[in-house]
Amino acid sequence: MDVGVMYPKMPTALGGVLPYADLARRHGGRLWFGHSDAVDSLTMMAALAGRGAAIPLGTAVTLHPLWSPSALARQALSISRLSGASVVLGIGPGGARFQESALGAPLARPVAETERFARQVLAVTEHSPAAVQLGFGVLRPAMAEAAGRAASHAITWLTPGSWIRDTIAHALARGAASSERPVPNVEAVVHVGVRRPGRDPVSLVESAVHAHLAAPHYRDMLRRAGIDLPDDGRGAARAVIDQGVYLFGSPEEIADGLELLHADGADEVVVNVFGVLASHGEAAALADLEEVLAVLTERRVARERARTEALDSFLAGAEDVLA
């Protein structure tokens, strides 16, 4: 299981990003950025590369109505060259209100337009020596199938593991088969908060994703995934906690939840502490992130050690047989 770090807010200055970049570097993960109306996320990634941060980077996601395909492709290629590391360029159309504000009217066919945009990006990036791979923001089967046809990554937000396993994975496979492409990797962005005295998990969820839980496309996905989502904000927040969509608990319990998501088909889990940041501040968010990543890294090292010891034991036994 790969583990990534989500920069949990819109970047405003390089200094605020550096602690998250350091955590990603120390724990061997990719640093991800969402859409930003402050400092553009791709510009911030270029600034990090200029500081010598040679870590894998990704967008989850860049809203493509703001870009031309060629300009976005060349920006991602430039970042990969500057950093010497891979870039996952995740794209999405945004919601209908965003599309109207950016374009004057909502996209008539958001999925088809995203796929068309992606193919124009790929025309620039596919034959470049720079390491840029394309991803789609994916919530529902239609976009997942399009990702299978045109992308290398499918990036999910607030998706239950059962929805990835039973719905998204099958749609990705159908799309990939229709275009004779490999099935995309799945990156699941997961909001987490460590249980501590005085913390209310419902308030953390409301701070983190109240807008998502009110958005029609997220509500549709969650209800189709079998989550009974009340109309009131606190009730909806409680529902996603109860169903393990927002992970609240000890660092070990959060790590357990992330590993279950991996078992359900997430190739990479991307840890997002935005609710803690919004409710309790930067230091608390970084402390939560550090503790969760430390548990995951400790488990990964233990698994690698066990595999090495098992292989050594097997080889020793084989030598005894041959002797």
Q: What angle do CA 90, 92, 246 make, to 5 degrees?
A: 80
Give residue 323's pLDDT: 64
- 144 pLDDT above the threshold of 90: yes
- 188 pLDDT above the threshold of 90: yes
Q: What is the dihedral of CA 1, 32, 248, 265, to 10 degrees?
A: -30
Q: Where are the domains of the chain?
A: 2-322
Tens digits of residue pLDDT in 265-306: 999 999 999 999 999 999 999 999 999 999 999 999 999 898
* Residues whose CB is less than 8 angstroms from the CB of residue 40 and which lie 6 or more positions away in sequence, other chains included: none
To the question of pTM greater than 0.85 for the whole model, the response is: yes
Given a contact cutoff of 8 angstroms between Cβ atoms, the answer to whether 122 and 76 are in contact is no
Tens digits of residue pLDDT in 1-50: 999 999 999 999 999 999 999 999 999 999 999 999 999 999 999 999 99
Euclidean distance between CA atoms 154 and 62, whole angstroms: 13
Tens digits of residue pLDDT in 47-75: 999 999 999 999 999 999 999 999 999 99
Whether domain 2-322 has CATH 3.20.20.30: the reply is: yes
Euclidean distance between CA atoms 280 and 270, whole angstroms: 20
Q: Which two tokens stand for residue 97?
A: 């209100």
Give residue 316's pLDDT: 78
Phi-psi region of 87 (alpha: psi -120 to 50; beta: other; left: phi over 0): beta
Sign of the CA dihedral running 12, 16, 18, 19: negative
Q: If you average pLDDT over every residue of the chain, what do you get?
A: 96
Give residue 130's pLDDT: 81
Euclidean distance between CA atoms 187 and 296, whole angstroms: 16
DSSP letters for 162-183: HHIIIIIHHHHHHHHHHHT-PP
Q: What is the CA radius of gyration of the chain?
A: 20
